[in-house]
Structure formats: C-alpha cells, structure tokens
Amino acid sequence: MSKKKYHYKIKDWTLNPITSELTNGGEKVHLQNQVAKVLLELIKANGQTISKKELLEKAWPGTIVTENSLDKTVSELRKVFRDSRANPQFIETLPRKGYRLIAPLKKVEIEKRTIPIIKRRSNLKWGILILALAVTALIYIFKKNAEAHKILSPNGKIIASIKKDGVNYALFTEDITNGKIRLLDSFSKPESIVANWSSDNSNIIYNTTLAKNDFYSLNVFNLHTNRISYIKFPKKEGMMISNLKPQDSLSKLLEHKKLSQRNSSVHYIAYENNDTIKVLFNDKKISDFKW
C-alpha cells in the first residue's frame, strides 16, 4: 500500500511538506531547508511546547549551531506568517522554555485522482494523446520549478530567486510591495542551486560553483552598492581560501569542520563588519548558507 500524503493547514496557510511551500490564496513562499524543518517540528509537537535544545537537535542533526540560529529561523517564519512576537497568532515564545505553535492546525490528506476508463477505441486514442501532452506539460513545469530557488528576505519585503534564464542561470529580486523585478547577475549553471540573505537584508550570497572546476565559487551581491564580491576556495581540504575580485574583500577561511555524519561539512567565512558566513556541504556539494 502506498503511503498517504498530507498537507497541513495552519490558519489561512497551507504547507506542502514535500516541496516546503507555504501557500495562502495566490501567495506562495518557498521555505528554506532549516526553516521548513523547524516549522515541521512545531507542527509535530501539536500545540505542545518544544524546547530550543530539542529543536536544534532535530532541525540541525549532527551540526554545531547556536540558539541564535534557531531564533533567526523562527523570526523568518514569523515574517512569512506576518506574525508578532509581542502578540503572537502563530508561534509563541515561552522564555527559558522554547516555542509552540498556537495557530489552528489541521492535517489534510491529499486526495488521489483516478483516470476514468475510456471504452471506445476512438476516444481511447484521443485520451492517450491528451494524457501524453498533459504529462509532457507537467514534466516541463516540474523541471522549470525544480530549477528555480526562491528565498524571502529577513524583513519579508523582497524575494530573491535563482532560475534558468536562456542558456544561463540568473539571480533576480522581486519587491513584494511594488512588484518590481531586478536582474542582478547571470552565470553558468552551478552544481547546486543555493542562495541566502544576510541578516540585515543588504546582501545575497549564492553558489556559482561549476561541477567541472576544482574550486568552490561564491558570489555576494550588495543591494546598496550593486557590487559583487567573489569568493573562491579549493575543493580539496588543507588549502587556505583565496579571493578573486574585488581585491579589497576581507573574506578569509577561519575554520573547516568535517562532520562524519551524512558526509557533511561546514566552512566558516569571515566577512565584512565581523559577519560570519557558514557554508554547509552535503556529499561535497554546497547545500545551504547561514549568515
């Protein structure tokens, strides 16, 4: 028997746990990996308080992270839900205890749609043709969506996205308040499509590493200056980080930890204004950024 699949209704929002997408009418937001994991753990708690320690262990298994990372993740969730810590409607903070989901929650089973049997041969031919066209269209749409990566800024005002643009891939931003779309950068298809925001909404870091190269490449786009900083470091361990242009970049390799679980590792990169960027790897490919 096939396993049943569910969506979760959280007040006016619907979460698809498979795609990590939240929808509310025509609005759709793709949650980042850790944000989705934290939300799912809050859902599983079913209105009960879940401690920060337990959330960290379940959302970041085998990874050393601070409570500050969890607090920022919960803050991102609140911005998506347009929630308030002072007057919460979705996520409640219990000082020195943890968090709990207080919004109305409902588990909804996804209905399976069956294809009706077509009795006449002539209708069968047309039915098969229409079905083939529909499947082709769905595959195209799926591939198109699978190649796109969207992230919401910490202040909830801008969506950054990486998607295919002709023969290349491109970084776009869309201002939610006025619908304005900007093309920020264009590059060859990276070996993994990953991006994230800085906590102050001023920078977007994204992966431009090519599978054929023997080094990792990261770009940081500053929305205030419209400048791109280029960070490059070798894929083999034991070598120091080296920066490409601009030459005044302060980035350097601080530390690298190889975690035995799930073949994951993390690079800590010191950036401007004492910021630290964590580059997370899985199977030797960049899987996420934490600013």
Q: What is the CA radius of gyration of the chain?
A: 22
Q: Supply the pTM of this predicted model.
A: 0.50
pLDDT in tens, 29-86: 888 888 889 999 999 998 899 998 898 888 888 777 778 888 888 988 999 999 988 8
Distance CA(124)–CA(118), nearest Å, equals 6
User: Which burial class, exposed, middle or buried, applies to 267 when counting CB atoms under 10 A from its CB (0-12, 13-18, 19+)?
Assistant: buried
Distance CA(102)–CA(43), nearest Å, equals 10
* Predicted confidence (pLDDT) at residue 99 exceeds the cutoff of 50: yes
Would you place residue 225 in the very low, low, confident or very high pLDDT band (cuts 50, 70, 90)?
very high
The encoded tokens of residue 209 equal 């590493």
